[in-house]
Structure 1
Amino acid sequence: MIAIDLDDSLLDDNLTISQENKQAVRRAIEEGVIVTIATGRMFKSALPYVQQLGIDAPVITYQGALVVNALSRNVLLHCPVPLDLSREIIRESKKNNIHLQVYIDDEYYFEQHNKYSDLYFKVSGIPGKAVGSLEDFLVKEPTKLIMIDEPENILKWMEHYKEKYKGKLQVTISKAHYLEFTNIEATKGNAVRYLADMYGIKREEVIAIGDSFNDIPMLTYAGLGVAMGNAPEIVKSHADYVTYSNNDNGVAHVLEKFVLGGGMPFELCANRRHR
């Protein structure tokens, strides 16, 4: 099984899948390999890419908080954020004047439009809804929450909130501007394990490919964890193998080297960690 991150991994900087990456993924599927997407995106934002690739396996979205069958749209796994913690995050973001978005039933909501809601829309392609007071609006446990701010501020907030919600929530950076809050059990690693168990696939038979902090749990779970060439050094340090960048067909390189090309089986990769 192969789990591939979307943004800054499978997608280039123009948010497109190169022909080389597309062909490699399709060939892997044709050869009987289970390929899934593992993304922090909403399901509806990931779906166009899933359809381009012809993926029919369940798709991991919202950092692992929501696993959805790509064909039937049936929800296989959903781990929302507790309502009390969600409201606490809303109050803190308001106090610190940070743009916050909450996600419910594959839609997202914020208090008012601003440059950060515009930034998110440009990347996701999905419009959100301004609803005024989020604390008054929120009556249902959200799938996730995102703070959006300048990258230097996001790093500061990550340290603060990782400590504050230690053992309560997952707090991770998915893109330089995004700090995401999900259920403590909602990680890409746990979601990849869920699918592997569902299919009866051993951990050693899983490849995970990603570039950011939120990808680390699946890189360390997989038999072969692959970091993109454009990944931060801390992410690369958790990987077994580093491929080319997202603008240089890094995903296709991995599939050709370890799955399609008849080269060294990934189980025997010399860079593998001992577990």
Structure 2
Amino acid sequence: MSIKAIALDIDGTLTNDEKRITPRTKEALLAAARAGITLILASGRPAHGLRALAHELELDRYHGMLVAYNGSQVRDATSGELLFNQAIPVEEARAVLEHLRGFDVIPMLVDADRLYIEDAYRCTIYHKGAPKNIVKYERDACGLRIHEVHSLLDWCITPQNKILTAGTDTYLSEHHEAMAAPFVDKLSCMFTADFYFEFTAQGIDKARALSVALPERGIDPSELVAFGDGQNDIPMLRLAGVGVAMANATDEVKNAADMVTLSNNEDGIAAALEELVR
């Protein structure tokens, strides 16, 4: 195939378990960029949370793209130009926040570089039996500033690119269907990790964003290689000419992919590109 673009999920895919891009993977991606292949970061993170990794991979120099908020926003990595944006309307966002009050989850909203929460001291969930400060985790991963408000519902007066909820993995597994039930015909509802369940505008996912943004660069989805490990990556893997699942991906993701590579801790991206880009 002729490869013109590479789309990369971040957590569990591009970065290892220490949240770093390994040297081998970084060099493989920079070599692709130098050869004229467009690099795309495609993540549930807000745009601000993509900037450090985008700079590390020189997306600003090589005219890459940032697919943020699970695909509800796309920006040009060089100019910052907004290429696509579809947020949750205010009334629907407020309805979600009202509904979530009946569940043991921690809702979060993002605006630019700020992470909005209701209680900075209610920040602990349990992941695989161990306590996890989820507010600190999200703040650190995306380089955000914490902003505490009395009520997210009262604060929510503008459209939202996504509504993030965090919860203990076993609790979310048992309750996510009830959390999503009133909105299944109105919004996209998905896991981005087993401790994150998110809401975006209807029909929004990484594939939808790429199907709009790629043609603007003269790139057909058949010329795209996409890498991922999570449920929210499945539409993107299916859209791409070659969808690549990481070895650490769930079986559902592996079944949706065209090939499976090594894990995020074993330079799986570099190993696959060595096969595909010759």
Query: TM-score over 0.5 for the alignment?
Result: yes
* Residue in 2 that maps onto 1:256: 274
The alpha carbon displacement at 1:162 in A equals 4.2
- State the one-letter code of the partner of 1:44: H
Structure 1 unmatched ranges of 5 or more:
263-275
2:84·2:213 contact (CA, 8 Å) conserved in 1?
Answer: no
Report deviation, 1:212. Answer: 0.1
1:14 maps onto 2:13 in alignment: no
| CA-atom RMSD in angstroms | 1.4
Identity between Structure 1 and Structure 2 (%): 29
SS at match of 1:174: strand
**Aligned counterpart, 2:127:** none
- 1:71-150 alignment to 2 at 5 Å? 71-105=78-112, 107-113=114-120, 114-115=122-123, 116-150=134-168
Distance (Å, rounded) in 2 between the aligned partners of 1:241 and 1:253: 12
Residue of 6, 14, 17 corresponding to 1:2:
6
**What is the TM-score with the length of structure 1 in the denominator?**
0.90
Is 1:213 matched with 2:231?
yes
AA aligned to 1:194 is V
| Aligned-partner Cα distance in 2 for 1:220–1:245 | 19
Among candidates 35, 38, 41, match of residue 34 of structure 1: 38
CA drift at 1:120: 2.0
- Would you say the 8 A contact 2:83–2:213 is kept in 1? no
- Render the CA deviation track for 1:90-142: whole Å, top value 9, x for unaligned: 11222224210122345331111132322322433323211111111111111
For 1:177 and 1:184, locate their aligned partners in 2 and report how far apart those are by CA, in whole Å: 22
Moved more, 105-114 or 85-94: 105-114
User: Which residue of 176, 182, 206 corresponds with 1:164?
Assistant: 182
More strand by share: 2
Partner of 2:257: 239
More helix by share: 1
> TM-score, normalising length from structure 2?
0.89
- Residue 83 of structure 1 and its aligned partner are, at CA, apart by 1.3
Q: List aligned pairs for 1:59-78, cutoff 5 A.
A: 59-78=66-85
1:64 counterpart letter in structure 2: G
Instruction: Assess, with a 3 A threshold, how the Cα gap between structure 1 residues 162 and 89 changes in structure 2: closer, same or farther.
Output: closer
- Counterpart of 1:47? 51
Task: Tell me by how many angstroms 1:198 deviates.
Answer: 1.1
Following TM superposition, by how much is the alpha carbon of 1:164 offset from its aligned partner in structure 2, in angstroms? 3.0
Amino acid at match of 2:65: P
Q: Is the 8 A contact 1:111 1:131 kept in 2?
A: yes
Pair 1:182 & 2:189 matched: no
Aligned pair count reads 260
Unaligned runs of 5+ in 2: 124-133
